[in-house]
Amino acid sequence: MRATVEAVLGDITHERVDAVVNAANSSLLGGGGVDGAIHAAAGPALLAECRALRRTVLPQGLPVGDAVATGAGELAATWVVHTVGPNRHAGQTDPALLASCFARSLTVAADVGARSVAFPAVSAGVYGWDVEVVADVAVATVRDHAALAGDEPAVRLVRFVLASDRAHAAFASAIHRHLGTG
């Protein structure tokens, strides 16, 4: 059985999946955009878990391209997988860093037992990456990750949840190009 990959227009905080991916900053303490929306919707439990991570295993913050899981607080999901995308405005222009966000998020999600994962367009907002580039890197990374998992991938559904028509079109096109569906 292969993983299903889809793109939808919507609000990631309303997704009924096992894990929602947060386009976090390295502090893990909330911010703007998707990060702020997820923290607001999840409530204080999410911030408490993020603060605990900072006190214990991530005192310097979460590195760019890495991912870590917490509970999801009041979200419909069970987990939030936080990942820090590269910031083009800060000179972080290597697509491998962007790919790492998606690959590490899938690995972390699988490690906590998630079978379904919702992703935003990591780094396509205030971090300055073109949404078409993000879509291409994201879908290719998901394809490659699924290929490594073989016939029984741990994550069975990858849903890209996009907040704009332009982002949705970019991801739908990338899914068609890389997976022949969409």
Catalytic residues: 35
Q: CB atoms < 10 A from the CB of 30, how many?
A: 18
- For residues 68 and 62, the answer to whether their CB atoms sit within 8 Å is yes
Are 127 and 85 in contact, with CB atoms under 8 Å apart? yes
Residues 147-163 as b/e (b if ≥16 CB within 10 A, e otherwise) read: eebeeebbbbbbbbbbb
Tell how far CA 163 is from the center of its chain: 14
Q: Hey, what are 158's tokens?
A: 């990858």
Strands, E assignment, 34-145? 67-71, 79-84, 116-119
Nearest in space to 103 (alpha carbons), one of 131, 88, 128, 81: 81
Angstrom distances, CA of residue 58 to CA of 28, 42, 63: 9, 21, 9
